[in-house]
Amino acid sequence: MERMNETNELEEMRAQMALLKEKLDKEEILTDNLLKQAMTGKMSTINRYKWITLFAGIFALTFGNISWYNIGLPIRLLVGTSILMVVSVVATWIIHAKMDERDIMDGNLLEVAKNAKKLKKQYITWQRIGYPVIIVWLAWFGYEVMSLNQDKEYLVGLLIACAIGGMIGGIWGHMMNRKVMKACDELIRQIEE
């Protein structure tokens, strides 16, 4: 009789262990899914920037070239600006090339962390190159505008309008860069935990 009670208790303990294991497995799957969703959100923030850069580049190429051509800016500035925009857009796409949401879903988290660290490093390098190039381009642009044979008040007004637009675009771009860097940091932190 006592042996039968022990057997029943043992069977009951086994059933409880199986139930507990099943609950833990479900909890682990739920935790993995929540982690993947959070990381996918960060990856979307990172990848959204490359699309924004593409559309901003296309807009700047078309609108900028048409309007600047119409006010008489030289072709060399338009061509130089176009080359600069194309290089910027292509560089952004190359930098973002390895960031793929499918890696998160496939469970390649180490690869995602490695690519996020590489993206962050490339962003810093790109900024070190990009900011001086922008300064040189702005000086060139200002020189070409002031060299036009038009009313100087109009030209100063044009430069002020361009400066305001440039500041707005620069602040917006800087904020986007910070968002991408923060998303990379959070993605790396989540993976390393």
For CA atoms 45, 49, 51, 56, the dihedral sign is positive
pLDDT higher than threshold 60 for residue 163: yes
Kindly state the tokens that stand for 92. Answer: 């952004």
Determine the 3-state secondary structure of 99 from DSSP: coil
23 part of a folded domain: no
- Amino acid identity, residue 109? L
Kindly state the tokens that stand for 129. Answer: 């190159």
106 part of a folded domain: yes
Count: domains in the chain: 1
CA angle 53, 90, 167 (to 5 degrees): 40
Q: Read off the pLDDT of residues 20-45 as tens digits, 9 standing for 90 and up.
A: 666 655 555 545 565 666 667 777 77
28 part of a folded domain: no
pLDDT higher than threshold 60 for residue 131: yes
pLDDT higher than threshold 90 for residue 127: no
Kindly state the tokens that stand for 133. Answer: 């190039």
User: 192 to each of 46, 92, 116, 189, how far by Cα in Å?
Assistant: 18, 26, 12, 5
The pTM of this model reads: 0.70
142 part of a folded domain: yes
11 part of a folded domain: no
Q: Which segment, 48-57, 92-101, 111-120, 129-138, is predicted with the most confidence on average?
A: 129-138
Kindly state the tokens that stand for 10. Answer: 């043992």
Which pLDDT belongs to residue 34?
59
Domain boundaries, position 126: 35-192
10 part of a folded domain: no
157 part of a folded domain: yes
The mean pLDDT value for 71-85 works out to 92
8 part of a folded domain: no
Which pLDDT belongs to residue 25?
59
